[in-house]
Structure 1
Amino acid sequence: MYDFFDNEVIQFILYIFFSFIVCIIMVTGGYLLGGKSLESKNKNLPFESGVKSTGNTKIKFGFNFYLIAILFVIFDIESVYLYSWVVSISECGWEGFIEALFFVFLLFISLIYLIKLKILK
């Protein structure tokens, strides 16, 4: 029979409770301590170092910028998976090691594929 008031369950409930408390304190603290300004004609103008903006603010970025950003996110997420594998390496054993090698091999193959397509240029 599972004991609801197990030590781990109580710790998890306390963690969630104090997380909510910290979030509430941060939001109300920012509201109470944050600067407040009166309505004025300059309030909604964009501000950059005191210089009034000129020209069109809609700058178009090339497709390559978005592609590089997405590739960075994809290859950055793999570091999160590898970090969690490294932390639990003693529990994974050889089976986990082989799975991690397969994961790294797939990433390497995908990187070679991207280089062959000349996407990174």
Structure 2
Amino acid sequence: MLMMLMMATIIMLISSITMMLASILSKKSFYDREKNSPFECGFDPKCSARIPFSLHFFLIAIIFLIFDVEIALLLPIIIIMKYSNMIMWMMTSTFFLFILLIGLYHEWNQGALEWAN
């Protein structure tokens, strides 16, 4: 028990030192308006360099990532089938697919999957 406490203390100490060093070394000490502004051949920029980001595109990307992870979770179900109890496997797979379909229906119902309005 004492050994685990000592190891946890050492790990916390090393991670704290690493975070403090990263915080100290990563800070910019010099903020200049000219250096932070976008460069356009020596002229002042005509408009903002930061264009607004489409929130709808971001939501579609997040939905894609979520369903991509769910597909990665579905693939091992086929391999597990021959090693497990068939009734338990069928109930678990059906429950998981049901949750996925409810999530897809909810996204569709909310209009998050419609690209053009």
Question: What displacement does 1:57 show?
Answer: 4.5
Where 1:88 maps in the other structure, the secondary structure is helix
Residue equivalent to 2:67: 75
Q: 1: CA distance between counterparts of 2:71 and 2:49?
A: 36
State the percentage of identical aligned residues.
29
Alignment of 1:54-65 (within 5 A): 57-65=49-57
Q: Which letter does structure 1 place at the counterpart of 2:75?
A: Y
Q: 2: CA distance between counterparts of 1:106 and 1:76?
A: 15
Q: Choose between structure 1 and 2: higher helix proportion.
A: 2
Q: 2: CA distance between counterparts of 1:100 and 1:92?
A: 12
Question: What displacement does 1:92 show?
Answer: 2.3
Question: What displacement does 1:119 show?
Answer: 1.2
Q: 1: CA distance between counterparts of 2:53 and 2:85?
A: 46
Question: What displacement does 1:113 show?
Answer: 1.1
Q: Quick one: higher RCO (CA 8 Å, sep 6+), 1 or 2?
A: 2
Residues 63, 97 of structure 1: CA spacing in aligned structure 2 closer, same or farther, 3 A cutoff?
A: same
Residue equivalent to 1:110: 103
Cα deviation digits, residues 51-84 of structure 1 (max 9, x gap)? x9x9755332211111001100111111111111
- In the alignment of these two chains, the number of paired residues is 69
Runs of 4+ in structure 1 deviating by more than 4 angstroms, as ranges, are: 54-57
TM-score by length of 1: 0.50
Where 1:74 maps in the other structure, the secondary structure is helix
- Match for residue 77 of structure 2 among 85, 88, 91: 85
Residue equivalent to 2:30: none
Residue equivalent to 1:100: 93
Where 1:73 maps in the other structure, the secondary structure is helix
Residues 93, 63 of structure 1: CA spacing in aligned structure 2 closer, same or farther, 3 A cutoff?
A: same
Cα RMSD over matched residues?
A: 1.9
